């Protein structure tokens, strides 16, 4: 009987856990849809800025540091992780990629600095003793640009000042609700190929007039464009997080269902054994009275 009571307690506990994971899966699915919509809504702004920069870059020979490659003595990394976890290998896979690239590129910690978004990444990197010089935690599920404005401006500004010679961004790229790919992209210096004209001969070209000058406008707009790329990556990472959480909670719910079935089977076997034992005792007692 004691074994049966213990099994029933375990079944109730797993059923309660299943209710929680099932609810979290549905919540994550709803948040994923909204995150996808926000990610798509952020793209037209970056596309329009790219169009303006393309026109500016073609009309002037700019030596802006964000467009010019230089010898790499120090590197910056901006890592986007989650605050709460409960998303399978979402954070672990990304941080593993970061450590692999740090080991491959650098001989000592003096050769790089780290910016991190998300409590999970910050806790991990601080425990490792790595040089984190900027962080943001506690972002909302629908973060505005204002929430990451400071860290994005610092990351871009320190590159402009020559504190490091490259800036990489690491985040989980959203492929589909089942696949989220840990990704590293070089953010700075900007890839000048993306600003090269794709116009064909005979196409009409839009003419712009700039005030005060093309060089000054370009110098003003380039940092904002780089910051918009960081925000766009954050939106992609948020969608990836909710997709990973939805998958993880779905798997947890399925595992709970299997565990309940196994425990129910075990309970029925124990119950049948107890009934059989009681019948045997009754029969033995009846035989003893004859």
Whether 188 and 112 map to the same domain: the answer is yes
DSSP 124: H
Residue 149 CA to residue 161 CA, distance in Å, equals 18
105 and 168 both lie in a single domain: yes
pLDDT at 240: 94
What pLDDT score was predicted for residue 101? 95
- pLDDT for 165 equals 93
Helices in the chain by DSSP H: which ranges? Answer: 2-59, 90-105, 119-127, 145-160, 214-289
Statement: residue 201 has pLDDT above 60: no
Could you tell me the residue range of the domain that residue 70 belongs to?
42-195+205-244
Query: pLDDT-derived band of residue 172, with 50, 70 and 90 as boundaries?
Result: very high
pLDDT value of residue 48:
80
Is residue 200 in a domain?
A: no
Which pLDDT score, from 0 to 100, does residue 103 have? 94
Same domain, 188 and 273: no
Residue 159 belongs to some domain of the structure? yes
CA gap 145, 235 in Å, rounded: 10
Classify strands 75-80 and 112-117 as parallel, antiparallel or unpaired.
parallel
Mean pLDDT, rounded, of the chain = 87
Q: Are residues 219 and 256 in the same domain?
A: no
Provide the pLDDT for residue 119: 95
Residue 31 lies in a domain: no
Asked whether residue 16 falls in the same domain as residue 47, the answer is: no
In a domain, 36, yes or no: no
Tell me if 213 is assigned to some domain.
Answer: yes
Same domain for 187 and 276? no
Task: Give 122-129 contacts, CB < 8 A, sequence gap 24+.
Answer: 122/81, 124/81, 124/91, 124/95, 125/79, 125/95, 128/99
**Burial classification of residue 115, based on how many CB atoms lie within 10 Å of its CB (0-12 exposed, 13-18 middle, 19 or more buried):** buried
The answer on pLDDT for 200 being more than 60 is no
Average pLDDT over residues 20-36: 93
- What value does the mean pLDDT take over residues 216-227? 85
Residues 158 and 141 reside in one and the same domain: yes
Residues 240 and 252 placed together within one structural domain of the fold: no
The pLDDT score that the predictor gives to residue 283 is: 77
Residue 232's CATH number: 3.40.1380.10
Residue 226 lies in a domain: yes
Which CATH number characterizes residue 269's domain?
Answer: 1.10.287.80
CA distances 152 to 136, 142, 161, Å, are 10, 17, 14
pLDDT of 202 strictly over 70:
no
Same domain, 234 and 253: no
Task: Clarify whether residues 122 and 147 are in a common domain.
Answer: yes
174 burial via Cβ count (<10 Å: 0-12, 13-18, 19+): buried
Q: From the centroid of its chain, how far is CA 81? A: 5
Is residue 37 in some structural domain? no
* pLDDT, position 208: 67
User: What's the domain count of the chain?
Assistant: 2
Q: Answer whether residue 34 is part of any domain.
A: no
Enumerate residues 6+ apart whose C-beta is below 8 A from 117: 78, 79, 80, 81, 135, 136, 137, 139, 148, 151, 234
Specify the pTM.
0.85
Whether 225 shows a pLDDT value over 70: the answer reads: yes
Same domain, 160 and 225: yes
């Amino acid at each position: 009987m004691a074994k049966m009571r213990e099994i029933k307690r375990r079944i109730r506990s797993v059923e309660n856990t299943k209710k929680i994971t099932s609810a979290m899966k549905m919540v994550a699915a709803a948040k994923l849809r909204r995150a996808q919509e926000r990610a798509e809504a952020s793209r037209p702004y970056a596309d329009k800025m790219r169009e303006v920069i393309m026109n500016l870059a073609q009309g002037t020979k700019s030596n802006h540091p964000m467009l010019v490659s230089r010898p790499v003595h120090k590197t910056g990394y901006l890592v986007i992780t989650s605050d709460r976890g409960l998303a399978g290998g979402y954070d672990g896979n990304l941080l593993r990629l970061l450590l692999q690239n740090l080991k491959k590129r650098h001989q000592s910690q003096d050769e790089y600095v780290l910016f991190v978004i998300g409590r999970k990444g910050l806790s991990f990197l601080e425990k490792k003793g790595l040089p984190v010089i900027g962080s943001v935690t506690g972002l909302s599920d629908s973060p505005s640009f204002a929430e990451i404005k400071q860290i994005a401006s610092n990351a871009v500004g320190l590159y402009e000042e020559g504190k490091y010679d490259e800036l990489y961004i690491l985040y989980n790229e959203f492929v589909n609700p089942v696949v989220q790919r840990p990704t590293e992209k070089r953010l700075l210096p900007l890839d000048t190929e993306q600003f090269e004209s794709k116009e064909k001969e005979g196409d009409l070209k839009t003419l712009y007039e700039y005030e005060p000058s093309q060089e000054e406008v370009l110098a003003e707009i380039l940092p904002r464009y780089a910051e918009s790329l960081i925000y766009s990556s954050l939106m992609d990472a948020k969608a990836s997080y909710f997709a990973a959480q939805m998958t993880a909670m779905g798997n947890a719910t399925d595992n709970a269902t299997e565990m309940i079935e196994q425990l129910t089977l075990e309970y029925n076997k124990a119950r049948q054994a107890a009934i059989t034992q009681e019948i045997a005792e009754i029969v033995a007692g009846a035989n003893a009275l004859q």
